[in-house]
Structure 1
């Protein structure tokens, strides 16, 4: 007889249903996104670029992949260290969105949203959100050396735009004035046609 033969069985526990996240919360966890390869400059100068590299399109919204890069000029070592530190785009305050890189979106019907560190759950009734909502999801890594610095950031936009959409950026500390990039609604629609669900039922 096995030593483990008479150990008690684990009791059955009630099966927990998966909580349904609201659309503004973030990308669905059960979809393969379609890709809108926008590949456009929201801002470009001799020293700095801010690029909307691509957009992952889901059934409920889209994930923006943003890249920014600064090229060193004649700054001293200390000045360059300050630029590198600013380029990390650390939030100075959880309630202050107007520091570092500012990102917003404008729809053709006049609606707009500005990227915030917290989603609507922090400030509004989460069951009564009409959007649009633009949420900061964090960075995706970066690199720097004595010649350039480059970082990435990810942002969730809900709901998915059905019309032409303008992305607006500004970064006062790095000398970036308010600049914009327009993306056509057709690009979102085409990528939406490539979204795949994990499960059919």
Structure 2
């Protein structure tokens, strides 16, 4: 036991309230909340111009998918151009091109023209969903959840017309991600939510909120705070 004086002040007493029993589950549109991922460094500049630098930093490998982290820095002289019609900071467009030609993120998220229930061969296309980050006038961090990790190789695609960035491609070593996924560490068991427990109201990847289904399960999407 340490002989040093306590650093933190003792917490204030909490009011007596009945404890609520909560059940948690992993959802398909976010990384599992009971697993420590294996980090695969990538550290590749996709774009490096006088206006902007866009860099793929790393991939967090899980047994069921990967979280890709993309960092963006904007030149202060170009900040006024990197705004949407409401005057809020923009972020670059990000997509993934698989080696079989499948495009993820080519259109509205979840509605890519090459991925949908009516397109042959796309029923098992990986999810490609933003799961938070930070967004500011001069710096942004985007996290994309891709599940499962594609079986072949892939290219990350980035574009940002406001800052004169054309569609730019960079290869990703998904073999390294698949290999690292075996090093992900489950801390304690949690069930997976099933399709029967989800309705259209439950699918809220942009909200990153906790909600309760009709079966009483609480699902928490743990993400970084998004500043917008």
Partner in structure 1 of residue 102 of structure 2: 111
Are the structure 2 counterparts of residues 115 and 54 from structure 1 closer, same or farther at C-alpha, using a change threshold of 3 Å? farther
Partner in structure 2 of residue 161 of structure 1: 150
| Counterparts of 2:107 and 2:185, CA distance in 1 | 28
Partner in structure 2 of residue 150 of structure 1: 139
Gaps of 5+ in 1: 1-9, 90-99
Partner in structure 2 of residue 85 of structure 1: 83
Which of 162, 178, 182 is matched with 1:193 structurally?
A: 182
Partner in structure 1 of residue 61 of structure 2: 57
Q: How many angstroms does 1:17 deviate by?
A: 5.3
| Counterparts of 2:133 and 2:89, CA distance in 1 | 9
| Counterparts of 1:154 and 1:197, CA distance in 2 | 21
2:82–2:162 CA contact under 8 A, matched in 1: no
1:140–1:154 CA contact under 8 A, matched in 2: no
TM-score normalised to structure 2 length: 0.60
1:169–1:178 CA contact under 8 A, matched in 2: yes
RMSD: 3.2
Q: How many angstroms does 1:81 deviate by?
A: 5.0
Q: Which structure 2 residues correspond to residues 14-29 of structure 1 after superposition, within 5 A?
A: 18-19=24-25, 21=27, 23=28, 25-29=29-33
**1:33 correspondence with 2:31:** no
| Counterparts of 2:107 and 2:31, CA distance in 1 | 16
Which of 137, 143, 153 is matched with 2:131 structurally?
A: 137
TM-score normalised to structure 1 length: 0.67
2:149–2:178 CA contact under 8 A, matched in 1: no
Larger Rg belongs to: 1
- The number of equivalent residue pairs is 162
| Counterparts of 1:71 and 1:45, CA distance in 2 | 9
2:34–2:189 CA contact under 8 A, matched in 1: no
